[in-house]
Amino acid sequence: AVNNNISNIHVLQTEKRQLEEEVKGAQSVHDDLQKELADFQTEANELEGIHKDKKDASSKLQLQCEDSEQDLNRQLKQNKTSEELLEHYRCEIEEVKLKHRKLRIRFENQLMQLIEQHKQLDYVFNSKRLPDELKKGEDIKHQLSSAEQVKLAQLHKLDEELEEAKKQKQFETEDAQIHE
C-alpha cells in the first residue's frame, strides 16, 4: 500500500506540476488579457474623447450651418429687394429717357420753326432785296396817296353837295315862309 501511496503521490505531484503549469499559463493568459483590457480601456477613453470632440464639432458645425442658412436667406431677401429696386430704377430711367426724347423732339421742332422763320426773315430783310422792297413800298405809298387824293376829292364834292343841299333847303324853307 506504501508503493501505491508513493505512486499516488508521484501521480499527484505530476498532476500538481501540470496544474501549476496550467495555472502559470492561465495566469499568463490572464495577465495578457488584463493588459489587453487596459489597452482597450485606454482606447475606449481615447475614442470617447474623440467622440466628444466630434460631437462638439458637429454641434458647432450645425450652428454654423444654421447661421449660414439664415445669412443665405437674408442675402436672398436682400437680393430680391435689390432686384425690385433695380427694376424700379430702370423704369424711372426709361421714363426720364422718354421725357428727354419728347423734349428733344419738341426742341428740334422749335429749332426747325426758328430756322424756317430765320430763312423767311433773311429773305425779307436781305440787303439784295432791299431796293426792290423799297420800290414796292414807294409804289404802295403812291397808290395809297392817289387813293387818298381820290377820297379827298370825293369828300370835298360831298361837302359841296351837302352845302348846296343845305342852301336849297334853306331857300325852300324861306320860300315856304313867304307864301304863308
Tens digit of pLDDT for each residue in 38-48?
A: 999 999 999 99
Q: What is the pLDDT confidence band of residue 91, given thresholds at 50, 70 and 90? A: very high
- Here the cell at position 121 is 426773315
pLDDT given for residue 1 in this prediction: 73
Rounded to an integer, the average pLDDT of 48-59 is 96
pLDDT given for residue 146 in this prediction: 93
pLDDT given for residue 174 in this prediction: 76
Distance, in Å, from the CA atom of 127 to the CA atom of 121, rounded to the nearest integer, reads 11
Q: Is the dihedral of CA 20, 22, 25, 29 positive or negative?
A: negative
Q: Is the pLDDT reported for residue 54 higher than 90?
A: yes
Between the CA atoms of 36, 42, 45 and 50, what dihedral angle is there, to the nearest 10 degrees? -110
Distance, in Å, from the CA atom of 167 to the CA atom of 163, rounded to the nearest integer, reads 6
Share the mean pLDDT of the chain.
Answer: 91
Check: CB of residue 33 under 8 Å from CB of residue 40.
Answer: no
Please name the amino acid found at residue 125.
F
Rounded to an integer, the average pLDDT of 87-103 is 96
All structural domains of the chain with their residue ranges: 1-125, 130-179
Q: What is the pLDDT confidence band of residue 166, given thresholds at 50, 70 and 90? A: confident
pLDDT given for residue 7 in this prediction: 87
> 58-72, 130-144, 148-162: which range is least confident on average?
130-144
* Interval 66-83: pLDDT, tens: 999 999 999 999 999 999
Rounded to an integer, the average pLDDT of 8-23 is 92
Q: Is the pLDDT reported for residue 119 higher than 90?
A: no
pLDDT given for residue 134 in this prediction: 79
Q: Distances from the Cα of 57 to the Cαs of 44, 46, 48, 49, in angstroms?
A: 19, 16, 14, 12
Q: What is the pLDDT confidence band of residue 180, given thresholds at 50, 70 and 90? A: low
pLDDT given for residue 132 in this prediction: 79
Q: Distances from the Cα of 65 to the Cαs of 58, 60, 79, 93, in angstroms?
A: 10, 8, 20, 41
pLDDT given for residue 177 in this prediction: 76
